[in-house]
Every structure is written in structure tokens, then in C-alpha cells.
């Protein structure tokens, strides 16, 4: 079952605009990560935010986390054509085996129009 659900499922914006994607989850988490996937293949880690953090920045990326609402948002500022990709949030739980099990949402397909 999917722990994270991204919203919207698809987003198209003009180059230079800001893109905001949201993620909601169901259970308590240790941290939340955002990944990008190009062309349906390997994922690239973008940013990790811990459960005791509320906001984090990395370059043009800004992530917020609201644990009371069980939600997170990813903001990409000044979008570029190269930002076109699918974006996934992944929540981390400690499994019975002690490992960090990542549970991914279904993703937001972002298209930047040149």
C-alpha cells in the first residue's frame, strides 16, 4: 500500500515559474525524502527532512514538513526545462528489522514548458 500520496498527479508550468508539489502520508515517520526520476528509470535523491524539522532548503528547492497534518511540500523556484521529471516523496519508517524502509508515493509528473 502507498504511504505517501502526491498532489497533483501532473503539473505543467512555464519555464521560470515556481512549481509546488504536495505529499500526504498516513503514519508517524522518522524522516521524509524527495526523489526525482527521469524517463522512468533510476531515482535521484533531492532532499531529506527529519521529523523534527519544519523547513529545509537546497539550492532552488524548498521543502516543508507539517507532522501535525502529515504533509510535506516541495517547491522548485525559477523552474527550468531540465526540471521536467517525476517527483516522489518517500516516507521512512523503522521496520521490525531495524532498517529504514522507504515507502514511496505515486509521484507528480512535472512538465516545464520552455
Partner 1 sequence: GAGVSQSPSNKVTEKGKDVELRCDPISGHTALYWYRQSLGQGLEFLIYFQGNSAPDKSGLPSDRFSAERTGGSVSTLTIQRTQQEDSAVYLCASSLAGGFGEQYFGPGTRLTVT
Question: Which residue, 41 or 69, has its beta carbon nearer to partner 1?
Answer: 41
24-63 footprint of partner 1 as x/- string (CB under 8 A): ------x--x-x----xxxxxx--x---------------
* Residue 101 in contact with partner 1, rule: CB under 8 A: yes
Q: Rounded CA gap, 19 and 67, in Å?
A: 22
* Residue 97 in contact with partner 1, rule: CB under 8 A: yes
SS (H, E, C) 42-93: CEEEEEEEECCCCEEEECCEEEEEECCCCEEEEEECCCCHHHCEEEEEEEEE
CB 90 within 8 A of CB 106: no
Q: What are phi and psi of 95, to 5 degrees?
A: -80, 175
13-21, 52-60, 72-80, 98-106 -> range binding partner 1 (CB under 8 A): 98-106
Distance, CA of 85 to chain centre: 12
* Residue 99 in contact with partner 1, rule: CB under 8 A: yes
Which of 23, 29, 85, 107 is in the footprint of partner 1 by CB under 8 A?
A: 107
Question: Which residue, 56 or 101, has its beta carbon nearer to partner 1?
Answer: 101
Name the residues that contact partner 1, by CB under 8 A. 2, 4, 30, 33, 35, 40-45, 48, 88, 90, 92, 95-107
Amino acid at each position: 500500500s502507498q504511504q505517501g500520496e502526491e498532489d497533483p498527479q501532473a503539473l505543467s508550468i512555464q519555464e521560470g515559474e515556481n512549481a509546488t508539489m504536495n505529499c500526504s502520508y498516513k503514519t508517524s515517520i522518522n524522516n521524509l525524502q524527495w526523489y526525482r526520476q527521469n524517463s522512468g528509470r533510476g531515482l535521484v535523491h533531492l532532499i531529506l527532512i527529519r521529523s523534527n524539522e519544519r523547513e529545509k532548503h537546497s539550492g532552488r528547492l524548498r521543502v516543508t514538513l507539517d507532522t501535525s497534518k502529515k504533509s510535506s511540500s516541495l517547491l522548485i523556484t525559477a523552474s527550468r526545462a531540465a526540471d521536467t521529471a517525476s517527483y516522489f516523496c518517500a516516507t521512512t519508517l523503522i521496520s521490525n528489522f531495524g532498517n529504514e524502509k522507504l515507502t514511496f508515493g505515486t509521484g507528480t509528473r512535472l512538465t516545464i514548458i520552455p
